[in-house]
Structure 1
Amino acid sequence: MTTVKVLATGSANGKLNELFGGISKINAKYGPFDLLLCVGDLFADNLDEIDSLISGDVKVPITTYFMHGEHELPDIVKERVESNQGELCPNLFYLGQQGTITTTHGVKIAFVSGVMSAMVNDLPTQVDILLTHEWPKSITRFSSLTVPDGIRGSEFVASLVTKVKPRYHFAASEKISFQREPYQNTPSSNIVSDADDTQLQFGLPTWFVGLAEVGNSKSKWYYGFNLVPYVHLPPSNFIKPPENMTECPFSKSSTGQKRGFKEVQVDANETEGNFFWSTGESSEQANKRGRRNNKGSPPGDYVCNKCNLPGHWINECPSGRPRPPKSYTCKKCNLAGVSISHCSSFREIPFEDQVNLTDEVEKYKSALKKLFHSYGTGMVSFEISLYGRKNQHCHIQVVPVPLEHDSNKIREAFIEEASVNDLKLRPPLPSLPTNYFKVDFPDGTGLVHEINPQEQFDVQFGRKVLGKLLGSSHRINWRECELPEELERADAEKFKQAFEPYAPKFEGI
């Protein structure tokens, strides 16, 4: 069972020396910690301390993720993280405006930076930690702890929390320390019932922690705890409520569902990476300026003006692929004016090429199956077809699975995870749908889920199931499996040598 040591802090407001100096002492005394989460505002207008951080004069001792609170990031920070994939300096990464990440330890973190002016409905459930700048409204309800008068809190955050049901929730807006008793997430007269919830989501309570500002000598500004991520939790944890658990503090009115909150959509393909960053402007502002208004799937009544088909934006239309210049020569076939196509799904491949490609793919899958069998493993393969998605390419992932996990066991794991994520897996029909997730098991059987064009499908779904099954949840996100180039080259050479006796032979090759 994997245990992760996590440390969270409130707003630093530019006091970077004080923050990371204090963290070094806390880490030496109570650590070592695996993860540091900075809630609220990390920066102020003190450019000297920012320069010291970027130059390395101020050291970040722990892998750290930060957000922003009431204030936007300073321009120098914004420019650096946007050009450096979220990394400001070694060990320090910007989370972004809103989204989800899964750390290398398997900790799933959802976050919403800034002051919420609209409801966010696209964050997933079953997250280990939720980070918001604002406190949720009514969080002190049913608590026996004493808190100062004048606690405000946000109805938007309260509504968000009832949907996400995090195990831990950290916020910094009230600038005081408040470690609330855990509260239940089961339906009650005070919470809106959600038909999509499962017993797994209901089974764990939420611990809310408000954090004071860094350096506050009268109120605690940091909070450390041990966490076993969701993906590593044994079943017994879901049926043992803590003794001091209270009823859910959020009433139906605090969720705001009768107010018709504007929903903000988040592209799942962007939020499920290592980082998610943005300029912090609202979707409405971006749309007015003609930017970022084509993220995710278009609405159901949208029809592409190029091909007269729904399901993709006009600038992602597969029929409008640019042709290479006449001076271009393909490095693969040495022919001028030919370009190697990038297809988001099998259906986008020209019909005349589909038969030969299918035959080639099946030969490679058969060869891989023989290779894996020689090492005492079966083979599981899965693919995702998302027609017209410019940031998605057609590919099949192949994973060797020890023979102790037979097809029935693997099938049950996929069905169980699908039920948690409200996916409908069924045996494949002779004709596959346009958008789908498909998995094939070692015995030759398979399952298919048809993906709705408006659905925010988790592209890591197949890896998530197999990661849990094989006890390798830290490898769920492919980005977190990267090795130094020399090690990857060595692994590739070893695989090449092992595969050579089984590699299919093609005419002319």
Structure 2
Amino acid sequence: MPHKIVVTGDVNGRIDEVFGKIKTLHAKQGFAFAIIAGDLFSSPEAELADQGAQVTKLISGEIEVPLPTYFSLGTHALPSNVVEKLEKDDGELCSNLYVLGRKGSLKTADGFRVVAVGGKHSSSEDASIRPYDAVYKDADAKSLAESQSDAELLITNDWPAAIRDGAKAFYNGTEDPPQGIQSIAELCAAVKPRYHFSASSAFYERDPFFHPDEGPKPITRFISLAPFGNPEKSKWIYAFSLEPSSEPPSTLPAGTTASPFLPKKRKLDSQQDSFNSFRYANGHGGDHRQQNYRGNKRHKQQQRAPPPGPEDCFFCLASKNVEDHMIGSLGDESYVAIAKGPLSTRSTYPELGFPGHLIIIPHVHQSTFAAIETADTKDPTPHGEREAAKAAAKESRTKVESEMSRYRSALHQLLTTKSTEPKLGAVTWCISRAANIHLHYQFLPVPATTITRGLVQAAFNVEAENNNYPKFAKSPSDIAEAERGDHLKVMVWSEVGEKTMVLPVDGSFRFDLQYPRKVMAKLLGLEGRMDWRACAQSKEEETADAEAFKEAFKDFDFTM
């Protein structure tokens, strides 16, 4: 049976605050245990004014540790009274709190095997190291690699060497990513953990990677967590479910790459041709493809530039064009960002505290949901592998659609809670075309009365008629038929219920990609903001809007 586990990055002496937050989450989630994968205590040079008092309270049991918790050795030396207590009580600091130490392994009461190497790497093989010093040698990691069998969890202070090789995931810290250590890479390759956790100045989650093995291949997810209370509000806590001693999945999850620790004499299998890839990015509120698809009719198709790939797409984190300061929430399969050049502004819905116009974007770089399901399933590979790829792609689509829908529901809850009279509803639209670059939803709050009075549907119908577009499909059967091809989907929600309209976009007419925004601009009296480029903001303004959204959304954000 799966158990819930929670892991944090550096606590840096803010002990009471962090255990208070873990206690609140534990009351709701019922975690089996917790792990602190960074420094529990701050450095002596930057010691918090009250850390000494907090440490004393922690050791005496005055600070409640609500569930079994294991803390690693980070880069800071442990306080002397902490070392004294650990030596006296064989690694137990207080009730429910245990140290993982410089090196070693343990098995939790729930059957999870945890392997850990703590402290900073030392290249000196002569120095004498005490059991709770925050230092380790290559020999420490290598001895664990030789003596340990496969583990569910690996906890290390240092990153493994080459961990970002072949990955699409982008490290988005203000500092350079940590320097990897070869002996940690060898340890990871040896114990093949389900999850490998570390700590750094910013959150980083690598694409999952598989280890060479007979039969189903073990898969590792490397995750490095940011410090608690970091100014960039980068993710510092990670909760997940895991079943101990379970077999590896029979098919590789979408986005899986080969192990970055394999010899580099050849191109790594699946690194360039993996099913999908984790990509976190920020997109523009308008159509980021438009300059490639305006298409001068005098030009031949073959003269046009190829559509942007992930390296150029505004919605992919691997892109050089990424504007990550606009991201408001990161999920496992998708994320939410504020719209560039938003249609609504802070003054449109002042009770929200942010402009309201948002984008929900899947990580996978595909133009439609159907493309996610058919990605990488047509290669001339053996039938069994092709069928496995199809199953993985179908599962990927389901996960993406489910999480994007979950984000919409969470945003609906925000509107219900935050809006005063008149209440707010929302219109979400998605242009699904094979010729597009990156699928996404645009989410826009609107007064609920415009929905309940049928004004939103009427506005789309009138503008479609003015443009000589075909009629919207509205019945379930007509909608299902229209969604099989290129289409515009409009989802109109209020507390009363939701209605869906689908417009077939079959290529028989010229479709204006800004049509949904123009409809909503006219309906809301914001005609002067029809063109997102005319509503451009400074980076400082965009950052402020993103932070305001995070604050408003924090109680509804299921990723927290």
TM above 0.5, yes or no, is: no
The structure, 1 or 2, with the larger RCO (C-alpha pairs under 8 Å, 6+ apart) is 1
The structure in which a higher percent of residues are strand is 2
Give the TM-score, by structure 1 length: 0.44
Give the TM-score, by structure 2 length: 0.40
